[in-house]
Amino acid sequence: FRTLDGVAVAGKRVLVRADLNVPVRDGKITDLTRIERLTPTIRELSEKGARVVVTSHFERPKGKRVPEMSLAPIAVALGEVLGRKVRFAEDCVGLPAQQAVETLHDGDVVVLENTRFHPGEEKNDPAFAAELAKLADLYVNDAFSAAHRAHASTEGVARLLPSYAGRLMQAELEALGSALGNPVRPVAAIVGGAKVSTKLDLLGNLVSKVDVLVIGGAMANTFLAAQGIGVGKSLQEADLHATALEILGKAKAAGCEVVLPVDAVVATEFRPNPPTQTVPVDAVPADAMILDVGPATVAKLQERLAGVKTLVWNGPLGAFETPPFDTATVALARAVAARTEAGALRSVAGGGDTVSALRHAGVTEKISYISTAGGAFLEWMEGKTLPGVAALEG
């Protein structure tokens, strides 16, 4: 892919595809990370004299104008983070967009209204992509987190204008490439979360890429149960036992060591701070649920990860949002952070839950790279080609 290095942008209209799809609760942005991570690209373009036209989707309005899903308040937040005036255009195509772009001076920034107000966006309608392309001389995609969508603003328009990766896109691709594409070995992955069914392709891809695969979270229950271990009332997917065994077989054939929990923290009710018990995985009471991996598992993981040079992490080890089932995830996160800080490990993490868990453990600053992507991070871990990235390369 082409980066912004050496690209002459002064006086040019540059369409920047950002991902301004930030979490909002009660009308307030609850996490500014995506906006903050976008600013290097906007600042660089603006300082070099480009006329910066920012475009993004926000939530899922399904091709209709939904006032609650306007990007107007997000444009204000972008201005605050940048510490400069950011204009706003009431539509991302047509007259409002054209007029907004025509009146820009070199260095100015405008945010265009939600692309998903138009059905052509998600359909990747060539006519809609052409409308977007009309607004600019160059296209910069800085939305790795939306690159798994083949939409007009992420894919179609990239084929109509000279296209470049923005600084955030570049950082994501470089970090992810160094973690799975061409990693320093041994390389390990930690995969957690609730369901095997949502991460089948991911597990299938990882076993042929990593040396060690740690499986945690409720999805580990499916693997344990598949091996005939009683998991009581734990969340698990009984219809995926055969698939789980297949994955284990594939791992073995590929020389990938799969590490499963050896002990578990169990409770009979799922609520904050219920009475708990710590038991070996083969001694889970019939009326109990596994809600976290136990201390022996954490010790085993630390020991197993001690010689590992590269680590990719997606998914918590336990039900970390409900105390005390955050214990193992927090302990492991701190161990990973300490080894990263000591220069012994390159650690890359992504996915909404994983990032909140790392934040909860207070270690986000110490992880080598934290992706801004959720779904795109998963698809990348699955080994899929992301259409938004492919369009930049084509």
Residues that bind ligand 3PG (CB under 6 A): 19, 21, 60, 145-146, 149, 374-375
CB of residue 21 to ligand 3PG, shortest distance in Å: 3
201 among annotated binding-site residues: no
**DSSP string covering 335-359, please?**
HHHHHHHTTS-EEEE-SHHHHHHHH
Q: How far is CA 336 from CA 175, 340, 373, in A?
A: 17, 6, 20
Q: Which residue, 166 or 374, is less far from ligand 3PG as judged by CB?
A: 374
CB of residue 19 to ligand 3PG, shortest distance in Å: 5
354 among annotated binding-site residues: yes
Q: Establish how many alpha carbons lie within 13 A of residue 161's alpha carbon, considering only the half-sphere containing its beta carbon.
A: 29
Q: How far apart are CA 243 and CA 298, in angstroms?
A: 26
DSSP 255: T
Q: Which residue, 145 or 340, is less far from ligand 3PG as judged by CB?
A: 145
199 among annotated binding-site residues: yes
334 among annotated binding-site residues: no
CB of residue 47 to ligand 3PG, shortest distance in Å: 27
Instruction: Please list, in sequence order, all residues whose beta carbon lies within 8 angstroms of the beta carbon of residue 226, skipping any fewer than 6 positions away.
Output: 240, 241, 242, 244, 245, 248
Task: Give the Cβ contact number of residue 371 at 10 Å.
Answer: 25
Question: For the stretch 41-75, what's the b/e string if a residue is b when 16 or more beta carbons lie within 10 angstroms of its beta carbon?
Answer: bbbbbbebbbbbbbbbbbbebeeeeeeebbbeebb
DSSP 221: H
359 among annotated binding-site residues: no
> Rounded to the nearest 5°, which phi and psi values hold at 343?
85, 10
Q: Establish how many alpha carbons lie within 13 A of residue 308's alpha carbon, considering only the half-sphere containing its beta carbon.
A: 28
Annotated catalytic residues are: 34, 195, 352, 375
Q: Which residue, 21 or 141, is less far from ligand 3PG as judged by CB?
A: 21
CB of residue 242 to ligand 3PG, shortest distance in Å: 30
CB of residue 125 to ligand 3PG, shortest distance in Å: 17
Which residue of the chain is nearest ligand 3PG when measured via CB? 21
**Strand ranges across the sheet with 277-280:** 277-280, 263-267, 289-293
**DSSP string covering 297-338, please?**
HHHHHHHHHTT-SEEEEES-SS-TTSTTTTHHHHHHHHHHHH
34 among annotated binding-site residues: yes
Q: Which residue, 21 or 327, is less far from ligand 3PG as judged by CB?
A: 21
**23 by DSSP, 3-state: which?**
coil
CB of residue 184 to ligand 3PG, shortest distance in Å: 28
149 among annotated binding-site residues: yes
Q: Which residue, 146 or 370, is less far from ligand 3PG as judged by CB?
A: 146
Nearest to 187 by CA among 275, 312, 287: 312
Q: Which residue, 65 or 309, is less far from ligand 3PG as judged by CB?
A: 65
The binding site for (2R)-3-phosphoglycerate comprises 34, 116, 149
The binding site for substrate comprises 19-21, 34, 57-60, 116, 149
